[in-house]
Structure 1
Amino acid sequence: MYTPNHFKQPDEAVTKSFIRENGFGTLISQVEGSLWASHIPMQLSADGSILSGHVSRGNKSWKSFENANEVLAIFQGPHTYISSSWYDHQNVPTWNYIAVHVYGSIRTIEGEELYQSLKDLLDTYEAHVEHPVTMESLSDEYVNQNLRALVGFQIEISRMEASYKLSQNRDAKNHQSIIKHLEQSNDANAHAIANEMKKHHPKN
């Protein structure tokens, strides 16, 4: 991913935390000679070395899970338009955003590994629900029926690239002006970017 030095996120712990907070991503692989994208939730292991997830057996992306093929997982955070009218000088408009790319070799998981992957995912997201559903609360027949309909995977991560494009290349005055205008917006993405900009100050 093209990322100028101003916008690189060097702290791997920050990148891993971002993935955990924005787990719905895009898995890109090659299927029968063509690029294939699947929009799915993925989960990072406790040590940050493995991404796991699953697809429907009807989604032919699982055909790329053999032979330890390299795949790309993309996680997108908040993003918003930046007007050039917010600067104190002539400039072009742009877009601020946070994105993480994860590369690695993929393999299929099944049986107990798939069950545990689904359980971990369910426990993570049901933890925020008033009456959480657990794998143990579902009938064995129902669970096994769904296990047969899914193909699980694990990605052994080889590298991660994080782009935090938050106007760090602007001086303090223009950086603050952008934040002020974003905070006046009714858009949730604009407010999220403004908050992130406060954590990432200009580097010039």
Structure 2
Amino acid sequence: MFIPKYFKVTAVEEIEDFIQQHSFGTIVTTKEGRPIATHIPLLLEKDETDDYYITGHVAYGNPQWRTFEKSKEALVMYQGPHAYISSSWYRDENVPTWNYQAVHVYGKVEILDQDELKKSLTNLLYKYESHRKDPILWDKLSPSLLEAELKGIVGFRVKVQDIQAAYKLSQNHNEDDYKNIIHQLYEEKELESHQLADAMKKIKNLK
């Protein structure tokens, strides 16, 4: 991913937090030179040796999993809020652009065995269910249902080997323009514009 110096993010904790908040990602591999992608919820986890892994699962009928063990490398993409930035929001004449947050993760992908898959699914359910009034956790589901569902999916993990993170949030503009862009984004109707404005305030510690 091309990242101009203004927009490059390298802080591990910041990137980890971003991935945890925007965990519905895209995994990309290739088959005979052609890219294949699947959009799925993913978990970022760290093992006892402090190595990071991304785990997830795809349907057995999805042909992408058959490329996993043959692929030298997989790409996992995460997308944050993004929005159009009008050039009318700048003090001086300029051109419009698009602000966004994105993280690309590269690593070797391998298929999980049954026990590893169960652990991944248990953790996935816990992340999205534990805070709910009546959480549906792994041990609450019937063994017969779980056995049937497990036959229809293939689990995988990607060992994180390289991370590229870009926050293109108008950091290359002066303070007055920056604050006006935030104000104008809040005036937009789209929720994503408001989320982008929140992200811009956060990186500059603005209230």
Q: TM-score, normalised by structure 1?
A: 0.94
Aligned: 1:13 with 2:26: no
How far does the alpha carbon of each residue in 1:6-57 deviate from its partner, in whole angstroms, 9 at most, with x for none?
0011211100110011110011001243210100011000456100000000
Kindly state the Cα deviation for residue 68 of structure 1 after the two structures are TM-superposed. 5.7
Question: Counterpart in 2 of 1:170?
Answer: 173
How far does the alpha carbon of each residue in 1:115-147 deviate from its partner, in whole angstroms, 9 at most, with x for none?
000110011101232211111111112111111
How far does the alpha carbon of each residue in 1:152-193 deviate from its partner, in whole angstroms, 9 at most, with x for none?
001011011110000000011111111111122222111111
Percent of aligned pairs sharing the same letter: 41
Aligned: 1:107 with 2:107: no
Question: Counterpart in 2 of 1:2?
Answer: 2
Counterpart AA for 1:127: S
Counterpart AA for 1:171: N
Farther-moved stretch of structure 1 (27-36 vs 57-66): 27-36
Kindly state the Cα deviation for residue 111 of structure 1 after the two structures are TM-superposed. 1.2
> Which 5+ residue runs of structure 2 have no aligned equivalent?
none
Question: Counterpart in 1 of 2:88?
Answer: 85
Say whether the 8 Å CA contact 2:186–2:193 is kept in structure 1. Answer: yes
Say whether the 8 Å CA contact 2:51–2:159 is kept in structure 1. Answer: no
Farther-moved stretch of structure 1 (61-70 vs 149-158): 61-70
Counterpart AA for 2:52: S
Q: Which runs of 4+ in 1 moved over 6 A?
A: none
Counterpart AA for 2:163: M
Question: Counterpart in 2 of 1:157?
Answer: 160
What is the total number of aligned residue pairs between the two structures?
201
Say whether the 8 Å CA contact 1:20–1:43 is kept in structure 2. Answer: yes
Q: TM-score, normalised by structure 2?
A: 0.93
What SS is found at the alignment partner of 1:98?
A: strand
- The CA RMSD over aligned residues, in Å, is 1.3
Q: How does 1:18-167 map to 2 (within 5 A)?
A: 18-46=18-46, 47=50, 49-67=52-70, 69-167=72-170
What SS is found at the alignment partner of 1:88?
A: coil
Farther-moved stretch of structure 1 (95-104 vs 39-48): 39-48
